[in-house]
Structure 1
C-alpha cells in the first residue's frame, strides 16, 4: 500500500486514497471527465501501483491510451466449488512441497480473501412436486461429493483468508450480491472500493452495486489469490444511456432480453458498459443486477451501475450493518463514485436505449437472443 495521496475520509475514522488529486496533478480538470470504471481503476493504481510507474499508468486512463499494461489488484476472489477447489488443491500441493523441503506449510495461504461458494455440485433428482425434494436432493449431493466437500471444509480450517459458504445456501452470484460484497472495504485504517474476480462468467452480476467484478479462469483467480496483480490495458468503456421507463407489467426478463438483442447488434464484446441516465436511476437494484448478470450473453466484460440511493436502499434491505451502509454513501460522495458526480463523464462511445420500447419477450431453446 502506498503513502502518497493518502488523506482522511471526512466523517469517519478512516483514510482513503485521493485518486482525484492524483489525476488532477497530471492533468487539471481531467477527473470530471473520467467514467466510473476509470475512477475505480485510478484509485486502485494510486493505492497499489509501483510509484515509479504510477503517472504513466494513470495517463493511460486520462488520455484513453492503450499502449501500456498497468496493474489491477482485485480486493477479493469469489469461487464456486469446481474451479475454486482446483486452485486450493494447488495451494495444498504447494504446502506439501514446502513441508518436504523442511519449511512451514502453514505459511502458505491466499494473500487476498477468498470466498468459496458451493453451488455447482447439485444435480436435481427429486422434482418440486415432492414436499421433501430439497432435503432429498441435498442428501444425494452430500453423498456424491463426500470427498470433495471434506477437502473444501478442510481448506476453511487450514487456510487463512478462506471463507466457505456451505451447499444449500443459494446461488453463488446471488450470495455475492446480497451478502458478500461490502461495496466499500475498510482495511488497516483505509477505505477503498470493492473489486473482485470470480471463476464464473456471470460474476458481473454484482456490477449492479458499483463493484468492478469480472469472470476469469481458474489460473487467473489463483494468481490473484497469491497477491499478484492482474495486468490489463484500458478496456473500451461504453456509456449506455437508458431513457424512458418500463411500461406496467413489463418484467426484468422482458427488459434484459430486449437489451441483450440491442447490445449484440452494437458489438460490445470485451467492453466495460456503464449504464446511466434517467432510466437507469429509476431501475431497482434487482433489475440492474439482472442486466449486469447478462453481460456474458451480450459479450461485455463488465456492466456497471454507479452507486446511488437505490444502492444504499438495497444494502439496508439485505441487512448490511448501518455503519457499513453509511461508509458506502460517505465514500462514494467524497470520491466521485456517486452517480450524480458523473454528469460530465465522457465516453469513447455512447449508446441510447429507450426503456419504454420494451414489450413482452420470449427466448426459445434454439434462438436465445
Structure 2
C-alpha cells in the first residue's frame, strides 16, 4: 500500500487515493479525458503500484499506449465449486508440504478475499412440477458430491479470507451482483473501487454495477488469490452509445440479443466496452446486467456501466447496509 496521494474522503472517517491528482501531476487536464475503465485502473495503480514504476504505468493510460505491462490488483476473487475447489486443493497441498518441512501450515491462506459459490454441481433429475422437486434435487446433489462438499465446508473454517456460499442459494453471478459486490471496498480504513476476477466466462455480469469484473482461468485466479499482480496492457476501450428507451412489449432479452448481434459484427473481441447515453441511463440494473452477462457471447472482456442513481437504487433494493450505500454514492461523486 502506498502513501502518496492518500487523503481523507470527505464526509467519512476513511481515506482514499486521489488518482485525479496523480494523473494531473503528469499531464494537467488529462483525467477528464480518461474513460471510466482507465480511471479505475489508475486508482489501483496509485494505491498499489511500485512508486518507481507509477509514472510510466499511468502514462500508459494517459497516452493510450500499449508498450508496457502494468500491474492490476483485483480486490476479490470469485470462484465456482469446480475451479475454485481446485485452487484450494493446491493451497491445502502447500500446507502439507510446509508441515512436512516443520513450518506452520496455518500461515498458508489466500491473501485476497476469495468467495467460493457452489453452483456448478446441480443436475436436475426432478422437474419443477413435481412436489418437493427442489428438496429432491438438492438431496441428489449432496449425495453425489459428498466428498467434494466436505472439503469445501472444511476450507471455510481452515482458511482465512475464504467465504463459502453453500449449494442451493442460486447462480454465482446473480449472488455476486445481489450480495457479494460492495461496489466500493472499505478495508483498512481505505475506500477504493471494487474489482474482481472470476473463474467463469460470465463473471462480467457485475460490470453492470460499475465494477470491473472479468473471467479468468483457474491458474490466474489462484495467482491473484496469493496476492500476485495480474499483469496487463491497456485494452481497447470502446464506447457504446445507447439511444432511446425500451418500448412497451420489448423485453430485456429482445434488447440484449439485438445488441449482441450488432457487437459481433463490430468485432469487439477482447475489448472493454463502456455503455453510455440516454438509453443506458434509462436501463435498470437488471437490464444492464443482462447486457453485461452476455459479454462472452459478443467476445468482449468487460461490459461496463457507470455508477449512477440506478445503481444506488439497486443497492438499496437488494438490502445493502445504509452506510455502504452512502459510501458508494460519496466515493463515486
TM, length-normalised to structure 1: 0.90
Write the distance in 1 (CA, Å) between the matches of 2:144 and 2:138.
10
Counterpart of 1:357? none
The 5 A counterparts of 1:148-187 are: 148-187=148-187
Write the distance in 1 (CA, Å) between the matches of 2:121 and 2:257.
28
| 1:293-350 Cα deviation digits (max 9, x unpaired) | 00000000000001000000000000000000000000000xxxxxxxxxxxxxxxxx
Write the distance in 1 (CA, Å) between the matches of 2:115 and 2:143.
23
Instruction: Answer yes or no: is 1:237 the counterpart of 2:237.
Output: yes
Write the distance in 2 (CA, Å) between the matches of 1:220 and 1:26.
32
| Deviation of 1:226 (Å) | 0.1
| Deviation of 1:281 (Å) | 0.2
Counterpart of 2:138? 138
User: What's the secondary structure of 2:300's corresponding residue?
Assistant: coil
Write the distance in 1 (CA, Å) between the matches of 2:93 and 2:294.
36
| 1:125-180 Cα deviation digits (max 9, x unpaired) | 00111021100000000000000000000000000000000000000000000000
Write the distance in 2 (CA, Å) between the matches of 1:56 and 1:39.
15
User: What's the secondary structure of 2:74's corresponding residue?
Assistant: coil
Counterpart of 1:348? none
| Deviation of 1:246 (Å) | 1.1
| Deviation of 1:249 (Å) | 1.1
Counterpart of 2:124? 124
Counterpart of 2:81? 81
| 1:261-295 Cα deviation digits (max 9, x unpaired) | 00000010000000000100000000000000000
The 5 A counterparts of 1:58-69 are: 58-69=58-69
Counterpart of 1:342? none
The 5 A counterparts of 1:258-337 are: 258-333=258-333
Write the distance in 1 (CA, Å) between the matches of 2:64 and 2:208.
24
Counterpart of 1:111? 111
Write the distance in 2 (CA, Å) between the matches of 1:40 and 1:47.
11
Write the distance in 2 (CA, Å) between the matches of 1:201 and 1:134.
26
Counterpart of 1:14? 14
Greater RCO, CA 8 A, separation 6+: 1
The 5 A counterparts of 1:333-348 are: 333=333
User: What's the secondary structure of 1:79's corresponding residue?
Assistant: strand
User: What's the secondary structure of 1:66's corresponding residue?
Assistant: coil
Counterpart of 1:204? 204
User: What's the secondary structure of 1:275's corresponding residue?
Assistant: strand
| 1:220-266 Cα deviation digits (max 9, x unpaired) | 00000000000000000000010111111100000000000000000
Write the distance in 2 (CA, Å) between the matches of 1:96 and 1:70.
34
Counterpart of 1:40? 40
User: What's the secondary structure of 1:116's corresponding residue?
Assistant: strand
Write the distance in 1 (CA, Å) between the matches of 2:277 and 2:11.
29
Structure 1 stretches of at least 4 aligned residues deviating more than 3 Å after TM superposition = none
The 5 A counterparts of 1:341-360 are: none
Counterpart of 1:24? 24
User: What's the secondary structure of 1:243's corresponding residue?
Assistant: coil
Write the distance in 1 (CA, Å) between the matches of 2:85 and 2:159.
13
Write the distance in 1 (CA, Å) between the matches of 2:249 and 2:55.
50
Matched length: 333
Write the distance in 2 (CA, Å) between the matches of 1:247 and 1:192.
37
Structure 2 unaligned spans of 5+: none
TM, length-normalised to structure 2: 1.00
